[in-house]
Homo-oligomer: A and B are copies of this chain.
């Protein structure tokens, strides 16, 4: 089974559901999108949509060619503990881009940069399913801010490595890049100093 969740032999019905899902998510966004609505647009039963794609989340991933399953990779990266998480995250991110599964990512970046609607749609999905999931698992303050800062470093590396192709970043092996960026990403995810200044949590603000 391909990692996007689309089943082999889905044939016409699977493609019809995917086309309906793309139009539906583009119209109402990720949060407001429903399996029921997509099924209605495709003229099939909601149970058939779930049979083919499993969940709204995996249907979305299949529709936009998002190459990894956050419900799978986030627990896997966190399993060895929080030590070295930054380095593991950078390495996983680059190894995914460099693999055949990562091929749709450049098109995804292009669509997000070209279209405000595509940017909003991906933002909703990534906020909820990637950053939200990572934030829930981290035992730290301001996890959503921390996950966003980590994401900013990853997406910037992707821009220079895969879009602008700046050396030596473009040709360095993922584990070498992980050595460069790992401590910065680790700091964003875990260092108390990151959130000490600037935006404070409401609790801290009340005390002041």
If over half of A's interface residues share one DSSP class (helix, strand or loop), that class is named, otherwise mixed; here it is helix
* Complex contact A194–B180 (CB within 8 A): yes
Q: A122-B164, A152-B169, A165-B123 are in contact. Are A198 and B180 (CB under 8 A)?
A: yes
- Total contacting residues, chain A, CB less than 8 A: 47
Tell me the minimal C-beta distance from A127 to chain B in angstroms. Answer: 7
Query: In the docked arrangement, what's the CA distance between A171 and B206, Å?
Result: 22
Which B-chain residue is minimally distant from A142 (CB atoms)? Answer: B168
| A34-83 at interface with B (beta carbon < 8 Å) | none
A105 within 8 A of B: no
Tell whether A168 pairs with B184 under 8 Å between CB atoms, given A151-B160, A176-B198, A197-B176.
Answer: no
Q: List residues of A (67-121) whose CB comes within 8 Å of B's CBs.
A: 109-110, 112-114, 119-120
Given contacts A155-B156, A156-B154, contact A163 B112 (CB under 8 A): yes
Of all chain B residues, which has the CB nearest A131?
B166
List of B residues within 8 angstroms of A166 by Cβ = 123, 126-127, 148, 151
The answer to whether the Cβ of A192 comes within 8 Å of any Cβ in the partner chain is no
**B184 near A153 (CB under 8 angstroms)?**
yes
A sample of 6 more A-B contacts (CB under 8 A), given A112-B163, A176-B198, is A122-B164, A123-B166, A145-B168, A156-B156, A156-B159, A180-B188
Interface residues of A (CB under 8 A from B): 109-110, 112-114, 119-120, 122-123, 126-127, 144-145, 148-149, 151-160, 163-169, 172, 176-177, 179-181, 183-184, 187-188, 193-194, 197-199
